[in-house]
Chain A
Amino acid sequence: MCVTVINYKAGNLTSVLKALRHLGAETIVTDGDLALVEAAERIVLPGVGHFQATDRLDATDLTGAIRTAIARGVPFLGICVGMQWLYAGSSEAPNQPGLGHFAESCTHFAESPEKVPHVGWNSLEVRKDSRLLAGVEPGEYVYFTHSYKAPVTADTAAVTYYIEPFASAVERGNVMGVQFHPEKSGATGLKILGNFLKWKDVE
Chain B
Amino acid sequence: MITKRIIACLDVHDGRVVKGVQFVDLIDAGDPATQAARHTREGADEIVLLDITATHEGRQTLLDTVRRTARELFVPFCVGGGIRTADDAAQVFEAGADKVSVNSAALKNPKLIDAIGRSFGAQAVVVAIDARRDPDAADPVRDAQVYVQGGRKLAGRRVVEWAREAEQRGAGEILLTSMNSDGMRTGFDCELTAVVSEAVGIPVIASGGAGTVEHFVDVFGRGKADAALAASIFHFGVSSARSLKEELAKAGVSVRLPC
Contacts and interface: CB of A to CB of B under 8 A. Distances in A.
B123 A145 contact: yes
A48 B120 contact: yes
Interface residue range, chain B = 20 to 34
B121 interface: yes
Interface stretch (B52-60, B90-98, B182-190, B235-243): B90-98
Interface string A10-43: 1110110011001000000000000000000000
A119 B173 contact: yes
Contacts of B76: 143, 181, 184
B197 to A, nearest CB: 8
A123 B256 CA distance: 9
A189 B73 CA distance: 12
B252 interface: no
Contacts of A10: 121
Interface of A: 10-12, 14-15, 18-19, 22, 48-50, 115-123, 139, 141, 143, 145-146, 161-162, 181, 183-187, 189-190
Interface in B111-139: 120-124
Nearest to B92: A12
A11 B123 CA distance: 10
A143 B1 CA distance: 12
Which among B2, B76, B256 has the highest number of chain A CB atoms within 10 Å?
A: B2
Interface of B: 1-5, 40, 45, 70-72, 74-76, 93-96, 98, 120-124, 172-173, 201-203, 226-227, 256, 258-259
A11 B226 CA distance: 24
B75 A184 contact: yes
A115 B199 CA distance: 11
Contacts of B124: 11-12, 48-49
B203 A120 contact: yes
Contacts of A143: 75-76
Given A117-B172, A143-B76, A18 B71 contact: yes
